[in-house]
Amino acid sequence: MADNAQAAPFITTERLELWQPRAGEYAQLFEIVSDPQTRKYLGSKAPSLSDSYARELRNAGSWALFGYGNFIIRLRGQDAVMGICGVFRSFRGFGKGLDDVPEAGWIIHRNHWGKGYAREAMSAALDWFDRAHGPQRIGCMIEEGHDVSLRLAERLGFAEYDRHEPEDETPDARALILLERLPKT
């Protein structure tokens, strides 16, 4: 088994530590996305522990293949995972500028909402990404109605460029608002 444990966080902010993923964190991430209020804007499919494990592997693959991915967020000096954020490589498969490009995203445990943690973490992650990989276009998608994340995306420099209508027929499926953050010229 590969030992991928880090001795220190990758990025430290005033209140947070951003860590590269470590094997076994999928259970804590599953707990975060299993919360019904958190799930509200994460698609209509209920999560499973297996889905969280697959997400952990995709994230590790993004780091291994592209040199960037989602960070695990912890409060400074604490072990509990409070969220995930960063710029990762994905392939959504519906085109519209989100296939095989850097994509930004964030999920914060409901107990930590409203404290500015997502903005603090994403600002640090985007600053690092720009320094390490050069300024480039970054995509982002947010479900329609998730006004808090839309406002955060705007504060982080993202602007809407398209929409994607849901392909599944479930009654609670929402359109995706597609956003992009273009390099500053």
State residue 7's pLDDT score. Answer: 66
State residue 3's pLDDT score. Answer: 47
State residue 41's pLDDT score. Answer: 67
C-alpha torsion angle, residues 137, 61, 99, 44 (rounded to 10): -110
Strands 176-181 and 11-12: unpaired
Predicted TM-score (pTM) of this structure = 0.90
> pLDDT digit of tens for each residue in the chain (185 aa)?
344 556 667 999 999 999 999 888 998 888 888 887 777 767 666 778 898 898 889 999 999 999 999 999 999 999 999 999 999 998 888 888 888 899 999 999 999 999 999 999 999 999 999 999 999 999 999 999 899 999 999 999 999 999 988 776 666 678 889 999 999 86
Rg (CA), the chain: 16
State residue 4's pLDDT score. Answer: 52
State residue 34's pLDDT score. Answer: 83
The domain spans of the chain are: 11-135
- CATH class of the region 11-135: alpha beta
State residue 105's pLDDT score. Answer: 95
State residue 2's pLDDT score. Answer: 42
State residue 109's pLDDT score. Answer: 92
